[in-house]
């Protein structure tokens, strides 16, 4: 029996990606980078199809997982959280929203380890009852630039756009071991009202929440930056992944112990 934790990674709909023609067949995809980083650090990653109309199938997939990783991607559709669409909010991927919110709510209830990046921390906040800025530049007065998108070669994905101030005596603070750290920044949406039950653990220089985690023992961590492209030169970002995978192993072992004891 393998000892590597099984980590679920939701996909996204192909046609939501920039430059994809509408004549392509319906497909679900996800960036190689997330999958390869998870695998290289000891996980068994599985890509989760967007079966938003089949709760039983999703539950079956969820039950095979030791942890849930929520990656970056398209804007979250405001209809997914009952808000009117801002003019700068892009089309989004509603089936992905529904699948990720469903899986996150299961993980919150059952305390399965969760790690979210960029869009992932935003979904985590929504699943727990918070809200979002649909466009930071328009809705957050006094903000710095956050949308260093790697389009047309203007910025590299590992470009360190700004630093974040990390809150001490938190899980994130313990993992990164520093009061400040440089991060990349590829988003125009962000956390507005932090959900009850979550704790803000890092802030951008303008005060925007850049990381959040659960207030209990449950490994429930989200960061607004993209640590998957920073692990080689910035060890704190690698520790975010390894701490998540350690938590997934502990979750699986505890679950197996409960089964043997019953």
List pLDDT tens digits, range 248-262. 999 999 988 877 776
Task: State the DSSP string of the chain.
Answer: ---SPEEEEE-EEGGGSTT--TTSPP-EE--HHHHHHHHHTT-EEEEEP--TT-HHHHHHHHHH-SEEEE---SPPPGGGGT-PPPTT-----HHHHHHHHHHHHHHHHHT--EEEETHHHHHHHHHTT--EES-HHHHSTT----B---GGGSS-TT---EEEEEPSSSHHHHHH-SSEEEE--B-S-EESSPPTTEEEEEE-TTS-EEEEEESSSS-EEEESS-GGGTTTT-HHHHHHHHHHHHHHHHHHHHHHHHHHH-
Of the residues 100, 218, 228, 234, only one is catalytic, namely: 228
User: Is the residue at 189 inside a domain?
Assistant: yes
Q: What pLDDT does residue 80 have?
A: 84
Domain count, the chain: 1
Q: What pLDDT does residue 19 have?
A: 61
Active site annotation includes 100:
no
- Please give the residue range of the domain that contains residue 183: 6-261
Q: What pLDDT does residue 1 have?
A: 45
User: Is the residue at 237 inside a domain?
Assistant: yes
Of the residues 89, 118, 162, 234, only one is catalytic, namely: 118
Q: What pLDDT does residue 79 have?
A: 87
User: Is the residue at 1 inside a domain?
Assistant: no
Low-confidence residues of the chain: pLDDT under 70: 1-2, 16-24, 262
What CATH number is attached to the domain comprising 183? 3.40.50.880
Q: What pLDDT does residue 112 have?
A: 98
User: Is the residue at 145 inside a domain?
Assistant: yes
Active site annotation includes 226:
yes
């Amino acid at each position: 029996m393998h000892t590597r934790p099984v980590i679920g990674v939701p996909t996204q709909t192909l046609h939501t990606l920039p430059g994809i023609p509408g004549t392509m067949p319906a497909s679900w995809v996800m960036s190689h980078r997330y999958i390869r980083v998870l695998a290289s650090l000891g996980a068994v990653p599985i890509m989760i199809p967007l079966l938003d109309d089949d709760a039983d199938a999703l539950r079956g997939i969820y039950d095979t997982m030791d942890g849930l990783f929520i990656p970056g991607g398209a804007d979250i559709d405001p209809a997914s959280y009952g808000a009117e669409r801002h003019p700068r909010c892009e089309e989004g991927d509603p089936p992905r929203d529904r699948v990720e919110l469903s899986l996150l709510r299961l993980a919150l209830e059952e305390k399965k380890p969760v790690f979210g990046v960029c869009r992932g921390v935003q979904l985590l906040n929504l699943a727990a009852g918070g809200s979002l800025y649909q466009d930071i530049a328009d809705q957050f007065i006094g903000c710095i630039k956050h949308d260093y998108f790697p389009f047309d070669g203007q910025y590299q994905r590992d470009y360190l756009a700004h630093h974040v101030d990390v809150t001490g005596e938190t899980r994130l603070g313990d993992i990164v071991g520093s009061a400040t750290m440089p991060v990349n920044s590829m988003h125009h949406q962000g956390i507005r009202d932090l959900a009850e039950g979550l704790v803000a653990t890092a802030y951008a220089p303008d005060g925007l929440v850049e990381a959040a985690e659960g207030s209990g023992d449950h490994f429930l961590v989200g960061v607004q930056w993209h640590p998957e492209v920073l692990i080689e030169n910035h060890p704190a970002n690698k520790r975010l992944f390894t701490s998540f995978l350690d938590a997934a192993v502990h979750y699986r072992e505890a679950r197996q112990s409960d089964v043997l004891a019953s």
